[in-house]
Structure 1
Amino acid sequence: MGRVMIIGGGVAGCAAALAMDKAGHDVAVYEAHPDSGADIGAFLTLAGNGMFALTQLGAAEPVADLAFPLTSLRLTAATGEEVATAPLNPGADRLTRYQCLRRADLGRALRSTVAARGIPVHHGARLAAVDEAPGRVTARFGDGRTAEADLLVGADGLGSTVRPLLDPAVVAPRYVGQRVFYGYTTKAAPPTAPARIDMIRGSTAAFGYAVSPDGETYWFARVTDERLTEDEIAHGTPTGWRDQLVPLLRRDTTAAADIVAATDQLMVTNAHDLPDVPRWHTDRVLIIGDAAHAASPATGQGASMALEDAVVLAKSFRDTGSTTEALTTYERLRRPRVAANIAASAQLSTGPSRPGSPPVDEDELHRQLDWATPL
Structure 2
Amino acid sequence: MKFTIQRDRFVQSVQHVSKAISSRTTIPILTGIKIEASEEGVTLTGSDSDISIESFIPTEDGDHQLVELEQEGSIVLQARFFGDIVKKLPEDTIEIMVSNQFVTQLKSGSSVFNLNGLDPEEYPRLPEIAEENVFKMPKDLLKSIIRQTAFAVSTVETRPILTGIHWSLEDGHLTCTATDSHRLAMRHAQVETNTSDLEFSNVVIPGKSLNELNKILDDTDEWIDIIVTDNQILFKATNLLFFSRLLDGNYPATKNMIPTQSKTTVKLKAKNLLDAIERALLLSREGKNNVVNVKTIENNELEITSVTPEVGKVTEDVQSLDYTGDELRISFNGKNVIDALKVIESTEVEINFTGAMSPFVMKPAERDHMLHLFSPVRTY
Name the larger-Rg structure. Answer: 2
Higher strand share: 2
- TM-score, L = length of structure 2: 0.23
Q: Which has the higher contact order (CA 8 A, sep 6+)?
A: 1
Higher helix share: 1
